[in-house]
Amino acid sequence: MRIDPPPEPGTRYERAGNVVRALGTTNAVVFAHFTVENADAAVAEQVAFFQSAAVDPMVAGRPSAGGTLEWKVYGHDRPPDLGTRLAAAGFEPEEPETLMVFDLREQLHGDRRAADPAIVIRRIVDASGLAEAVHAAATAFGRDAAWQADRIERDGARLADTAYALYAAYAGGRPVASARTEFPPGRSFAGLWGGGTVAEYRGRGIYRALVGIRADEARRRGYRYLRVDARETSRPIIERLGFVALTGIVEWRRRLPPP
């Protein structure tokens, strides 16, 4: 999934040596494999590339969004001290996460219903629902609210895309949680992203219910696995549902100059 990323609207993936990078709506190093000897030079090369692309919108004929360069480092990436090298190159770490996977041949553990029977979960299919999902994300994610809400709003154009599904949970008509799923064609992994619940509604099983409804859809579509990058706040819930932890993840970010 990292070496050969599935297509995503607004994003172009390209390979440069041992690096796979994304340009467009997202600027990111998706995969990289370096040695101790060449890692520092390779990191500097990628930073220089993305800085040039951000300053000159016609670098290699590709428009660039500028903004932020993202680089996710997985626990098995090489060299083992890649995160330290990124920090030295001006990157800052986000909250650690854990890559977790569930085999859809199994059933999720425990009761997947929201504890509050008044909670209603809906698939978002129109602009008004999108606005409600964005509002729920902006309220739920605290310091990450702007980024999470922007991502959902940007994905609004994909509501009719069969490879994408956005959900919101409602309490008394109020949107109190949102979550999205990506169903890349021809792959065995469906991805769970952005699950977040407004603070005063946590502990009512809403997050668990959102996982369950997305797992059902992935199974109906013939996917073998679910994957999620779980924060420490959601990892215990994911584990209780039967997901298995594979490796740690730290996303590093570096500001790019405006275009």
**Homologous superfamily (CATH) for 107-241:** Gcn5-related N-acetyltransferase (GNAT) (3.40.630.30)
- What proportions of the chain, in percent to the nearest 5, are helix, strand and coil? 30, 35, 35
- For the chain, what are the domain ranges? 11-97+251-255, 107-241
**CA–CA separation, 117 vs 170, rounded Å?**
11
The span from the CA of 28 to the CA of 33, in Å, is 15
Total-model pTM? 0.87
Alpha helices in the chain (DSSP H): 39-55, 82-88, 127-140, 145-154, 206-220, 235-241
pLDDT for the residue numbered 42: 97
10-residue mean pLDDT series, the chain (259 residues): 90 94 92 97 96 60 63 97 97 97 96 82 92 90 66 76 94 95 96 94 93 97 97 93 97 86
